[in-house]
Structure 1
Amino acid sequence: MDYCNYKRAEQETILGDNPRITIRNTIIDVLSINETVSVVEQYVKAKEPLHLLGVNADKINELNKNERLKQIVNSCGIINADGASVVMASKFLGKPLPERVAGIDLMQSLVELSEKKGYSIYLLGAKQPVVEKTAEVLKEQYPDLRIAGIHNGYFKQEDWPQISLELKAVSPDFIFVGITSPLKEYLVEYLQDDGNKGIFMGVGGSFDVVSGNIPRAPKWMQRGNLEWLFRVIQEPQRLFKRYFVGNIKFITSIIKEKINGY
């Protein structure tokens, strides 16, 4: 059994026969946001570990250049389409996904579920003032929410064992990780292999948005699949190449996949 199949087998007992598709060597689950929340809760109730991950065009481009990242992504228990371009590509290829599952929206839904059912969460990532503010805002929005702990994202690989010990001490049901990819995926892989249970979910820059450090796109831009453009306008130097050049590369590869019938 290869790495991907072995790792997926560890997290597959709950997911069962959920349909999946493959786009550019990337497995994606055919799940809406509500269906995702329902499946994730089954993992929580069964106390089974899960790496919950979203992919967009940029991540798919990257994992096709990074074999280790590709193995980690494809071994995750649930892989959502966190990008409008991925959903459009699925329809173009004749294997449509139901909707974009935005990471920040899924995180909010899982936090709401946690308050309702008494599950605990842990916030790992971002700068210390940002993660503190995120915890504060979430407690204001969800007064009965159990926050097991927080930790900023500024640490070195040699600190990973200590992070692991801190997580084991509080045993949170959900660990939201706001660290840059692919370091985020490497860290989650390490923490799971070190015996940490719970639901690990990468949330990108969601802590910055929840804390109010960075504004989110207006609703009309979200509905029009233009949230990426709002982000580029906010940080053009950092994101222009990722979105414009990256999306052109992604679209070209999707057209080739369609032509080749791969």
Structure 2
Amino acid sequence: MQRIEFLGCPMDVASMDDTVETIRSAITAGQFTQHVVVNVAKLVNMRDDPQLKESVHSCDIINIDGMGVVLGARFLGHSVPERVAGVDLFHELLKMSKTNQFSVFLLGAKDEVVSQATSNVLALYPGLKVAGYHHGYFWDDEAALVEKIRASGAQLLFVAITSPKKENFINRWRDQLGVDFVMGVGGTFDVVAGKVKRAPRWMQQYGLEWLYRVIQEPGRMWKRYLTTNLKFALLLIKEKAKRLFGPAKTN
């Protein structure tokens, strides 16, 4: 996979198929992979959050999730063929895990949500090896939870906790988890459990999933997305202007 730098963040330019195959090969070889997806909000928040920045930069694979990042990267001249959305990658990795008999662990969300998500996953992918699951409210004893994951023998760990908690948790415990692959999947369990609906496909293609979330939860989301999207637009304009009108490079 080709790695680029976009607005100060390293990112891997890869298709969904390339990403899944890279992860499969690493698991087969027993090579640990720390994975993250980056969207507009995460990219903006990293600039003011050194710990989140460190957690993201430490990852072995950094996929481009949001269409806003895809379009922004193209605007600055990078060739990005497609997005690799976290929720879609989650499903592709479950399919791959079923085929290869890899075991998975689901961590995060409320107890009833992760329980329902696990049941739905097993119905969608019969024969998938689920080593265990646990809710996302374990902060009073992280070490015990990490030991539970290690003892489960899981090879893939999916962490459905809000950002930046999930990125920092993964980076903090990466060497003790005992898994071959770990990624944060945000609100994916809510979608899989049927608690939250994804935006229609056409809105996903045009980078309007944020708008769909605002429509679903206007009181909680409008200010968050307005702020991050405006900051992102300004960063893009500044970077474009720097490239167009900045001082010429000299040898």
Q: TM-score, normalised by structure 1?
A: 0.90
Which residue in 1 is equivalent to 2:202? 220
Unaligned 5+ segments in structure 1 are 1-17
Moved over 4 A (4+): none
Which residue in 2 is equivalent to 1:205? 187
Which residue in 1 is equivalent to 2:173? 191
| Alignment partner of 2:117 out of 123, 134, 137 | 134
The 3-state SS of whatever aligns with 1:215 is coil
Which residue in 2 is equivalent to 1:75? 58
Q: Contact 1:55 / 1:83 at 8 angstroms: preserved in 2? A: yes
- Cα deviations across residues 95-138 of structure 1 (Å, max 9, x unaligned)? 12111111100000000111111111100000000000000001
Which residue in 1 is equivalent to 2:94? 111
Which residue in 2 is equivalent to 1:160? 142
Distance in 2 of aligned mates of 1:74 and 1:96: 21
Cα gap change, 1:116 to 1:195, in 2 (>3 Å) = closer
Which residue in 1 is equivalent to 2:26? 43
Distance in 2 of aligned mates of 1:229 and 1:78: 27
Distance in 2 of aligned mates of 1:72 and 1:224: 29
Identity %: 41
Which residue in 2 is equivalent to 1:57? 40
Say whether 1:23 aligns with 2:42. no
The amino acid across from 2:138 in the alignment is: F
Q: CA deviation at 1:195?
A: 5.3
Q: Contact 2:157 / 2:179 at 8 angstroms: preserved in 1? A: no
Distance in 2 of aligned mates of 1:254 and 1:92: 8
The 3-state SS of whatever aligns with 1:232 is helix
RMSD: 1.3
The 3-state SS of whatever aligns with 2:131 is strand
Q: Contact 1:176 / 1:200 at 8 angstroms: preserved in 2? A: yes
Unaligned 5+ segments in structure 2 are 247-251
Q: Contact 1:29 / 1:79 at 8 angstroms: preserved in 2? A: yes
Distance in 1 of aligned mates of 2:179 and 2:121: 23
